[in-house]
Amino acid sequence: MKIIALGDTHGRDHWKEIAASNRFDKLIFIGDYFDSHGELSADIQISNFKEIVLFKKSFPEKVILLLGNHDYHYLDQTFGKYTGYQHEYENEISDLLVNAVDEKLIQIAFIWQRFLFTHAGVTKTWCSDKSIDLRDLENSINSLFISAPKSFMFNPGICGSSSGDDVTQSPIWVRPNSLLQDKIDNYIQIVGHTQYSRIEIRDNVAFIDTLGESGEYLVIEDEIMRSSG
């Protein structure tokens, strides 16, 4: 089994060359398809996401699309807009994301063996607060997203961190320090959300939001992790 995991996309099309130049059994997008903070136009972001969705539809079992916070705030069922929100294009982006959710093309969590993929990470505190079934973790998290999407919104937390550095934050918001402090047991977590210059692996967490810096992506083969790109 060869898995390729890509960091936050933010409208970039790096994934095309990576997908074309690699054999893979699973290719996982870690989320944040939108809000490039001025790097790319909204039209480019929208076009890129449409291509990603078509890629998913062409390889439904091999391509996994995860949701990030910069996608979440465009959904109809949520409220609260975060940094980078593109008000002028909100209807078009929202329609694309809502359709992807409705068609079950996009999800919050994916697990393969001992590897847990989410946009930002999963803490014990958040799982306890939301009554997540740890025996059926992937399904429990994804089902909560469908039934109660507001469970994933940003909250002030017990620390009052404005950046999400709090153990109460959801799998699309928690920051590295809090995740490392309170990560759930028995998994190696693969996360994006917080930008790094190079992929870092610390205490069974791989931080892979590097497409905008080094362009690296994560490869897992025979359960061994390595960076590439």
More confident residue, 180 or 39: 180
Across 131-145, 158-172, 201-215, least confident range: 158-172
- pLDDT (average), residues 91-111: 97
> Could you give the CA distance from residue 102 to residue 94 in angstroms, rounded to a whole number?
12
Residue 12, pLDDT score: 97
30-87 tens-digit pLDDT: 999 999 988 899 999 999 999 999 999 999 999 999 999 999 999 987 778 888 999 9
Residue 22, pLDDT score: 95
What stretches of the chain show up as alpha helix (H) in DSSP? 14-20, 42-58, 69-72, 90-102, 124-129, 137-147, 176-182
- pLDDT (average), residues 101-125: 98
Residue 65, pLDDT score: 99
> Could you give the CA distance from residue 126 to residue 48 in angstroms, rounded to a whole number?
32
Domains of the chain: 2-228 (3.60.21.10)
State the average pLDDT for the chain: 95
Across 56-65, 116-125, 147-156, 200-209, least confident range: 147-156
Chain-centre distance of CA 223, in angstroms?
Answer: 20
Residue 82, pLDDT score: 85
- pLDDT (average), residues 197-217: 97
Residues 70, 34 contacting (CB under 8 angstroms): yes
Residue 81, pLDDT score: 87
- pLDDT (average), residues 105-131: 98
Residue 30, pLDDT score: 98
- pLDDT (average), residues 211-227: 95
Residue 71, pLDDT score: 97
Residue whose tokens read 């539809």: 57
78-110 burial, b if ≥16 CB within 10 A, otherwise e?
Answer: eeeeeeeebeebeeebeebbeebbeeebbbbbb
Looking at the predicted structure, is the pLDDT value of residue 160 above 80? Answer: no
Residue 76, pLDDT score: 85
Backbone angles phi, psi at 99, to 5 degrees: -60, -40
Residue 24, pLDDT score: 97
Residue 175, pLDDT score: 97
